[in-house]
Amino acid sequence: MSDFDWVKARAECSPVAAFEQLRVGVRQDVDERCQLLARDSALRFRFVDGGDTSFSVVREGDPPVRADTVTFSRTDKAIEVANSDRSVSFVVTVTVNEAGACRLIVGARDLDQWHVRRRALERLLFGA
């Protein structure tokens, strides 16, 4: 892979592109979770599109289920993930790894898209 155009690959591996991929994946995750809920469940999930730089997933329901939210926000250099009660809070950056693939970085970990979505949403969607 000596002729790999890493400059082009890195330019295409941007927070904007990663954010849009996360938006699509999170929307699919929410739709799937809603389909798996029992029809009589008081629990509901809602995807809220905040435009170019944010989106959220909201958990709602009749008492005793309290509302909670996970918000994904994009800056020029990263994606921030925060829970309304701050139990989930991390920053995602992007890079091209040694194999030439665009990867998401959280802390020192090199993650797939689904790993980031699970880290952000598992507690909200499953109470884990």
Residue 6 to residues 3, 13, 106, 112: CA-CA distances in angstroms?
Answer: 9, 10, 21, 19
Tokens (6 digits) for 11: 């330019």
Contacts made by residues 7-10, CB under 8 angstroms, sequence distance 24+: 9/96, 9/100, 9/102, 10/95, 10/96
- Dist CA 36 CA 116 (whole Å): 21
Residue 79 identity (one-letter amino acid) = I
> What pLDDT is attached to residue 30?
97
> What pLDDT is attached to residue 64?
57
Domain count for the chain: 1
Rounded to the nearest 5 degrees, what angle is found at the Cα of 105, between the Cα atoms of 34 and 118?
Answer: 20
Query: By 3-state DSSP, what share of the chain in percent is helix, strand and coil, each rounded to 5?
Result: 35, 35, 35
Residue 23: inside a domain, yes or no? yes
Residue 1: inside a domain, yes or no? no
Per-position DSSP letters for 94-108, written without gaps between them: EEE-TTS-EEEEETT
| Sequence-separated (6 or more) residues with CB below 8 Å from residue 8 | none
Segments forming the whole domain that contains residue 56: 6-126
Residue 115: inside a domain, yes or no? yes
Q: What is the pTM of this model?
A: 0.89
> What pLDDT is attached to residue 67?
67
Q: What is the mean pLDDT of each run of 10 residues along the chain (128 residues)?
A: 86 94 98 88 91 94 72 95 84 94 95 96 86
> What pLDDT is attached to residue 51?
93
